[in-house]
Structure 1
Amino acid sequence: MRGSVLLMIFLPILSIAAASQKSAQRATTLGAWSIRWQPVQIVNGAPVLFQVKPPTRLKNLSGSWLWHDVLFTWDPANKIWYGLAGTSLETKPGTYPLTLVAESEQGKPLSYLKKVRVGAGKYRMVRLVVPARYTEPNPTQMQEINQDKALKDKVFLQSAPEREWSGRFLPPVRARVSDVFGTRRQFNGAVQSVHQGLDYRVPAGTPVSAANNGTVMLAGPLFYEGNCVVLDHGLGLLTLYLHLSEIKVKEGDRVTRGQQIGLSGATGRATGAHLHIAVRWQGVYLNPTTLFALRFR
């Protein structure tokens, strides 16, 4: 009788323990990847900030999307992995897989695939008149243009492997936008380029600030860009500041977000005084307006 009583007491305890273990196993098994992104509606030409919460703690996380590597950094405060990516203006509307590869703290390899949709952005056309030398350069000017291209190609390949930026990116001036990203530009009656940046209508001599922390990779005059500063923010992300009347930094300088790097002007191919800022990520030009709206931690 006593044995029966003990058995009756012990069996429910075993059942509870087994249920708890099964529940824990189910929680582990059902653990899922949580992936979000900004902006919610992605269009061609937009930077994208992926936010990943994995099902377990990771040693590392990397990814690929639209044939580009996506490099993730860990935010311990929010327990989220952040990765910056982007879509070129040439990206066609459609669904593109984001492939994630990771290693857990226990050394187990993990992978996950998430389909991400890209829509079509709406971009306009503008007509501009500039001196003929900027649309029909002579042989001497073409030599200068080619030298500039070789220099820029070299600079664009030298991005630091670590993230240098911190927090949100800020506009370089406080002013009205005079021309948006993605505009098709007709110079002197012929379509010759797509506007791969953002123009601010500011008078010459307006202070221009760094959008975020970075290293000065280029600071000097170029044929089309005029006086130009290129900042490297790491992980393939660059910002470019064009048509400056004066440059306040030199190559190799480390700058902080909001630090003055130059004064606006009308040097290079410009129809008047203004500031042009461009954002370049792994060889792709992205919409600065969208970058400024991303909520970086």
Structure 2
Amino acid sequence: MTFLNFLISGISLGSIYAIIALGYTMVYGIAKMLNFAHGDVIMVGAYICFFAISRFSLPPLVGILLAMLLCTVLGIVVERLAYKPLRSAPSLAVLITAIGVSYFLQNAALLLWSSSPKVFPNFFTVTQSPAPDGTAEQTVRTGIELFGGQLKISFVTIVTIATCIIIMLALTWFTGRTKMGKAMRACSEDKGAAQLMGINVDATISMTFAIGSGLAAIAGVLLCSAYPTLVPTTGSMPGIKAFTAAVFGGIGSIPGALLGGLLLGLIEILAKAYISTQLSDAVVFAVLIVVLLVKPAGLLGKQVREKV
């Protein structure tokens, strides 16, 4: 049962990486740029939800929706101010700008909310009322136990995996069936041809940033619910690992983001359990290097021939 516990934990962590990786893979697939500030949007979403619940006593669902709304606006603003003027700039200029936006968001969070760690509330709980005869006290359950307590699954884990599945299905439907989704696919193939066909490329890219940033807010809440310490650098390492997951699965591919995230989460948890906690990150990146040596485009990525 111990291995099964590790397996479920790996799938849960991988689901968070997959949700974050969607932001990277969608933006790269359409705008052909790497938004390294995406990890810090996770942190902003977590802070917004935290203060909405703890300081303003809003219901958790309202806090999550507020975080999604404000992060969506933040994503659009960042795209318009920082990235839109660099549409035709060299990729190095865009990369440096993305790093600058990342540090700006981290330092803004440091000024606004200080560096002291915040303990994120776990609102994925079930309260059991006391028995009518008074033989039992009120208890708060954080998960379920199976096989006589040998297998423990937290409610955060269940919600995280279910949320990942729902988001992936919704995005697959959105990109395949809606007008905006088809416009995104067209821009991903050839922005010039898409513009000639009457597609507003700028609006499509802005919508991509909006969707990715809204998903980042969800990922931030799920991440801090599972690992409850919240600081201004909370999104840095998960952002890097989610980018790794996107490359692992094939950047630009939505199924690739899911596969890469799940595999990355499993490798990290199993490496911590059976190899070393300190070496787990090294194992993750070593596996990435091996995969890219065999399949440079990632597991589900497609080789693209450059036109000359």
> TM-score by structure 1 length?
0.20
- Structure whose residues are more often strand by fraction: 1
> TM-score by structure 2 length?
0.19
Greater relative contact order (CA < 8 Å, ≥ 6 in sequence): 2
